[in-house]
Structure 1
Amino acid sequence: MRMIETDVLVIGGGPAGALLFCLLARRGLRATLVERETTAERSFRGETIAARSVVTLRELGFGPALAKHGFVELTGISFWENGERIVRADYRSFPIDALPIDIPQPALIEAFLAAAGGAPRCEVMRATTFLSLVEEDGVVRGAMLKTRDGETLEARGRLVVGADGRFSRTRKASGLEATITPMERDFLWFKLPRPVDWGSEAQLVVERDRHLVILPTFPDLLRVGFNLPKRGFEEIRKRGIDAFRSDIAALDPRLAKLVAAHIQGWQDTSFLEIFTAELREWARDGLVLIGDSSHTATPILGQGVNLAIQDAVLLAPAIAAALSRTANDVVRAAELAEFVAKRRAHKSMVTRFQRAQETSLAESSPLGTWLRRARLRALDLFPLKYRLLDRVLNAPHDMPREAIHVGAV
């Protein structure tokens, strides 16, 4: 059996894992990124980058790569019910010098990996699957891996980073217990051509406890999410695709012709189970979890990718400092305690907001929906509306300045 030696073994090549790998490579650290897919191609994943993360990516030097690919800038978000706009936030009114952008996740990941390319002690292992952790006396020392051609490898490192998503196998193997909280609804996502006069504003279209999330998407598409009752996908399928198209058209007649023309079957949709996962501990000696592996979020306000980006940016200097303190020992959980505490506090704030919004959107009674409209109208008139929303959408994440400048392209 072949043995691999590294300092940091990153499991999962999504936004969190790929960016962390890039930042470690820039610091000259020895790192290995393990990804089970052969390419970065992904469909129906989070593609909205919040303004705060846009600023961070620019400071890290990724601005030219993002501009070269192209993206859609989102100018605002609005909430509609029964054809009436209840509340609107103009992103250009926030005190931050950036707008949220929509860019395909593969382009983001490839930009991170390209920036890490050529680092002498770093390797990307595609088509490689995580099997189990390697442990000795309760300390994580690495992981067992399997390549696409069936070869089993033992990868040894001073730190294993689980960044393998909402159904993380690394988390399950770690023994770190997650509290899984199902939300009341799930989602079906699909994409449609964007009419030329549609604009670039995110919209939430609601009728009682049903809603559509409509997001302008690069290059000229709409990404639409349709909420389902929990475990309601099979019932929707039994009713048939025509009934599904009718449901969409009833919620938003503007989409009727587009849905009729472009949603021909269930293969044109993507199901997303909505839940949150929260861990009391994110780290063990020799192991840390980041991104959806440690704090799965709901799709509300598209925070998953942004939380992942912020995790990676804050973790890289913490890892570098821990590795520099000892020559050969693993990174101890205590050395990452400050990182975990800061990120947990931020994620907890986001989760509280998301759960409150989910509860509001699930209202179906006349009184409940009336109160929802009243609260949102009050928010729309609230003089400090933008300051309140800015705390959630663009919360600063206390990024050390040296985290930006080390190796920025």
Structure 2
Amino acid sequence: MKTGGRSSPLLPPSPPLPINRNNLEASARLRLLLPPPPPPLPFSPLARRRLAATRIGAAPRPQQRSPPPRAERPRRPHHHWCGMAEVAAGAGQLIGVAVATLLAAIFLAAALLGSRRRRRRAPLAGKPAAVGGCGVADGEGCGGDGRTDVIVVGAGVAGSALAYTLGKDGRRVHVIERDLTEPDRIVGELLQPGGYLKLIELGLEDCVQEIDAQRVLGYALFKDGKDTKLSYPLEKFHSDVAGRSFHNGRFIQRMRQKAASLPNVQLEQGTVTSLVEEDGTVKGVKYKTKSGEELKAYAPLTIVCDGCFSNLRRALCSPKVDVPSCFVGLVLENCQLPHANHGHVVLANPSPILFYPISSTEVRCLVDVPGQKVPSIANGEMAKYLKTVVAPQIPPEIYDSFIAAIDKGSIRTMPNRSMPAAPHPTPGALLMGDAFNMRHPLTGGGMTVALSDIVVLRNLLKPLRNLHDASALCKYLESFYTLRKPVASTINTLAGALYKVFSASPDQARNEMRQACFDYLSLGGVFSNGPIALLSGLNPRPLSLVAHFFAVAIYGVGRLMLPLPSPKRMWIGVRLISSACGIIFPIIKAEGVRQMFFPATVPAYYRAPRPME
């Protein structure tokens, strides 16, 4: 074979071709002795008709018979492919119908199962209902089938509010309360403005409606015939924001009704006798129904809210209960207080006396009696004590109503308990309310602390889809004990400190502190707004509390130095400062200095739920 552009001797000569891409390819194939490419397959008649239909405006062409298929590649008749396509289309339709039918059946089964579960969780027909229309399912124990997310022990203020809050977030809640009838207590009747704001945040503000609740706008302080009015600093809030005072039982029944209105909240009357534990993890509770039947209820999380007389707290905390005094309660009827819509505090001897309205016609009177023993009511010693020791110290405007209430004989007593929070983090269980933390009821801050704790717990639980990992949940909820501290420690410390300052004492330095506190608050402006904002729960800042407390002490020392200091007055001033330290520092120590003032340094403060939860 020759090269260099000459033709091969094996092939006949060909005429020269113009230079283009096709000619170059043909020339290359000739030179390489390659066979020519096979001609394109002819279009079938159906393909030609479709191609012709796509040409807009093209004239129709007469049908031509396609050339016979090549012998080396026989083709199947066209009608065979059309039949196969029709069969495939029919099969696809049948498969689609079958899938749609299957999905519809699954959806219908899920709907029926959900309806059946809702009917099981709802109170059964024919079961007794609590007074006030609360839905109650007596004798219905949850058998550990996963239908309950949270068990709440107790349906007081904390338990009812917690059940409604968790139920509103989609949790399945089983509430077990010893007595679902309307309670009758002499405390828990004053809700501070800070507590009312928490009530609004939880969506429970309508629970103070239709119970003849009274608006409370501040306090009036009385001492030695003088008085001063201390109003809440509410200028920056909506006009509806104020304190509320009411009958405790009416308020609790309204909250129970609100909780029972949710289909995923079950209220049951029963007495919880113990916690059910397995390997250190609380799995549920054991309780007796109203009929005496013993049952067990199971849930991933059990929250104990059974009040100040809790019989379950010892398993979950280290209780150090102190009873500094007792309240003696009376109801004064058709009584007009000197300052309308204000609570009244009389700095009497030996300890304070409280008056506040609980309805449009009734005023609650609470007389503090120091110590754990009170005069006997049965033999008339209590009536004599109230008439001879207490009555001469109260404002003259309410003297007659006070004597009439004593003569009526409806005198009741209640121990005032104080207990700092000292929890034992336990997988599967949590303490709330007075079962967890108590303070002297002088300042009426108990419900504010409980509602604030519920807000903190709700925010912690909201991102969790399930609660079944007990150990991880317990570690995560340790942050609850730190996050609650700003509000709880401020109100707890103020309640304990004010009670000791407001009580009479044989120590002259303590009495000077008492007088200094009255005069300091009487100055008005920042001197009254600051402490009242702390008292009302509107400014829960521990540092502000300590600053005002020692400002009162320094103010008392300044009073002693005027007009001229003397060695005796200077010594009393030193003892006054020492007494102030002796009052507040033990309370702060019990609350926890680090958690109270430096919560951001506590590791649990930063804990967050794991992403898979």
Q: TM-score range by the shorter chain?
A: 0.7 to 0.9
**Alpha carbons of structure 1 residues 331 and 213: separation in structure 2 relative to 1, 3 Å:** farther
- Equivalent position amino acid for 2:318 in 1: E
Partner of 1:117: 260
How far, CA to CA, are the matches of 1:217 and 1:3 in structure 2? 39
Partner of 1:407: none
**Alpha carbons of structure 1 residues 275 and 258: separation in structure 2 relative to 1, 3 Å:** same
* Ranges in structure 1 where 5+ consecutive residues have no aligned partner: 399-409
Superposition pairs of residues 350-389 of structure 1, within 5 angstroms: 350-365=491-506, 367=508, 368-381=510-523, 383-385=525-527, 386-389=529-532
Q: Alignment partner for residue 295 of structure 1, among 437, 443, 449?
A: 437
How far, CA to CA, are the matches of 1:179 and 1:345 in structure 2? 21
Partner of 1:403: none
Work out whether 1:31 is the aligned partner of 2:176: no
CA contact (8 A) 1:178 1:280 kept: yes
| Percent of matched pairs sharing the same residue | 21
Q: Alignment partner for residue 199 of structure 2, among 57, 61, 70?
A: 57
How far, CA to CA, are the matches of 2:374 and 2:519 in structure 1? 33
Work out whether 1:270 is the aligned partner of 2:409: no
Work out whether 1:131 is the aligned partner of 2:273: yes
Work out whether 1:48 is the aligned partner of 2:190: yes
How far, CA to CA, are the matches of 1:190 and 1:331 in structure 2? 49
Partner of 1:147: 289
- Offset of 1:366 from its aligned partner? 7.3
- Offset of 1:16 from its aligned partner? 0.5
How far, CA to CA, are the matches of 1:349 and 1:363 in structure 2? 23
CA contact (8 A) 1:236 1:244 kept: no
- Equivalent position amino acid for 2:333 in 1: P
How far, CA to CA, are the matches of 2:466 and 2:370 in structure 1? 51
**Alpha carbons of structure 1 residues 55 and 292: separation in structure 2 relative to 1, 3 Å:** same
Work out whether 1:192 is the aligned partner of 2:332: yes
What is the RMSD computed on CA atoms of the aligned residues? Answer: 2.6
Partner of 1:84: 226
How far, CA to CA, are the matches of 2:385 and 2:207 in structure 1? 42
How far, CA to CA, are the matches of 1:370 and 1:256 in structure 2? 28
Look up the SS of the partner of 1:321 in the other structure.
Answer: coil
- Offset of 1:303 from its aligned partner? 0.5
- Equivalent position amino acid for 1:218 in 2: S
How far, CA to CA, are the matches of 2:459 and 2:268 in structure 1? 23
How far, CA to CA, are the matches of 1:105 and 1:329 in structure 2? 35
* Ranges in structure 2 where 5+ consecutive residues have no aligned partner: 1-138, 542-613
CA deviation digits over 1:19-43, x for unaligned, max 9? 0000111112111011101313323
**Alpha carbons of structure 1 residues 79 and 147: separation in structure 2 relative to 1, 3 Å:** same
**Alpha carbons of structure 1 residues 201 and 392: separation in structure 2 relative to 1, 3 Å:** closer
Larger Rg: 2
Partner of 1:105: 248
CA contact (8 A) 1:140 1:287 kept: yes
How far, CA to CA, are the matches of 2:497 and 2:399 in structure 1? 30
| Structure 1 length-normalised TM | 0.87
Moved more, 325-334 or 156-165: 325-334
CA contact (8 A) 1:20 1:315 kept: no
Superposition pairs of residues 194-343 of structure 1, within 5 angstroms: 194-196=334-336, 198=338, 199-234=340-375, 239-252=381-394, 253-264=396-407, 268-281=410-423, 283-322=425-464, 324-325=465-466, 329=470, 332-343=473-484
**Alpha carbons of structure 1 residues 149 and 251: separation in structure 2 relative to 1, 3 Å:** same
Number of matched pairs? 392
Q: Alignment partner for residue 179 of structure 1, among 305, 314, 320?
A: 320
- Offset of 1:8 from its aligned partner? 0.5
CA contact (8 A) 2:456 2:480 kept: yes
**Alpha carbons of structure 1 residues 209 and 29: separation in structure 2 relative to 1, 3 Å:** same
CA contact (8 A) 1:181 1:275 kept: yes
How far, CA to CA, are the matches of 1:207 and 1:114 in structure 2? 40
How far, CA to CA, are the matches of 2:470 and 2:307 in structure 1? 27
- Offset of 1:93 from its aligned partner? 5.1
CA contact (8 A) 2:329 2:412 kept: yes
Look up the SS of the partner of 2:407 in the other structure.
Answer: coil
**Alpha carbons of structure 1 residues 334 and 379: separation in structure 2 relative to 1, 3 Å:** same
Look up the SS of the partner of 1:309 in the other structure.
Answer: helix
Partner of 2:164: 22
CA deviation digits over 1:287-324, x for unaligned, max 9? 100111111121121011111112222212323434x1
| Structure 2 length-normalised TM | 0.59
**Alpha carbons of structure 1 residues 61 and 332: separation in structure 2 relative to 1, 3 Å:** closer
- Offset of 1:107 from its aligned partner? 3.0
Moved more, 226-235 or 285-294: 226-235
**Alpha carbons of structure 1 residues 43 and 182: separation in structure 2 relative to 1, 3 Å:** closer
**Alpha carbons of structure 1 residues 202 and 120: separation in structure 2 relative to 1, 3 Å:** closer
- Offset of 1:59 from its aligned partner? 4.0
